[in-house]
């Protein structure tokens, strides 16, 4: 008797886990691919020499640049000596049109960076 009750509970659980067609939109057999933007919202993509890339989101009326790397994010504050330079003390972003550079410490990490226009 206990075995039949256990089987009944398992079957009832499986039925309860089945979503209704109208409330669940995932189809694991679908071949359609939904392309999503890889650019973070309200950010500018920069493409640099050697295929490097990063994103910048300007905030605080242009006084902060939120630097978005592929694996982490850093807030950079506008320098008082240059209106196009943003720094965290270690990381420096110099926005200069098609020759924007990003230095991480003493090493120039990204050179020849150009802002990408959204299509």
pLDDT digits (tens, 9 = 90+) for 76-88: 999 988 679 999 9
pLDDT of residue 60: 92
- What φ, ψ does residue 35 adopt, rounded to 5°? -75, 130
Q: 103: buried, middle or exposed (CB in 10 Å: 19+, 13-18, 0-12)?
A: middle
Residue 15, domain member (yes or no): no
Average pLDDT over residues 6-34: 57
pLDDT of residue 23: 47
Residue 77, domain member (yes or no): yes
Residue 16, domain member (yes or no): no
* Length reported for the chain: 119
pTM: 0.64
Q: How confident is the model at residue 70 (pLDDT cuts 50, 70, 90)?
A: confident
| CATH classification at residue 111 | 2.40.128
Q: Please, what is the Cα angle at 90 between 107 and 68, to 5 degrees?
A: 90
Higher-confidence residue of 51 and 8: namely: 51
Higher-confidence residue of 14 and 52: namely: 52
Residue 25, domain member (yes or no): no
Query: Taking 60 as the threshold, does the pLDDT of residue 33 lie above it?
Result: no
- Reading phi first (left if > 0) and then psi (alpha if -120 to 50, else beta), residue 92 is in beta
Residue 5, domain member (yes or no): no
Q: Name the token pair of 98.
A: 């098609």
Residue 108, domain member (yes or no): yes
């Amino acid at each position: 008797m206990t075995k039949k009750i256990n089987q009944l509970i398992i079957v009832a659980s499986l039925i309860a886990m089945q979503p209704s067609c109208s409330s669940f939109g995932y189809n694991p057999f679908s071949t359609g691919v939904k392309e999503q933007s890889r650019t973070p919202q309200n950010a500018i993509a920069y493409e640099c020499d050697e295929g490097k890339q990063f994103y910048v989101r300007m905030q605080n009326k242009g006084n902060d640049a939120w630097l978005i790397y592929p694996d982490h994010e850093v807030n950079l504050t506008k320098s008082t000596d240059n209106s196009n330079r943003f720094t965290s003390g270690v990381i420096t972003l110099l926005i200069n049109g098609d020759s924007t550079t990003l230095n991480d410490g003493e090493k120039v990490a990204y050179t020849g960076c150009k802002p990408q226009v959204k299509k």
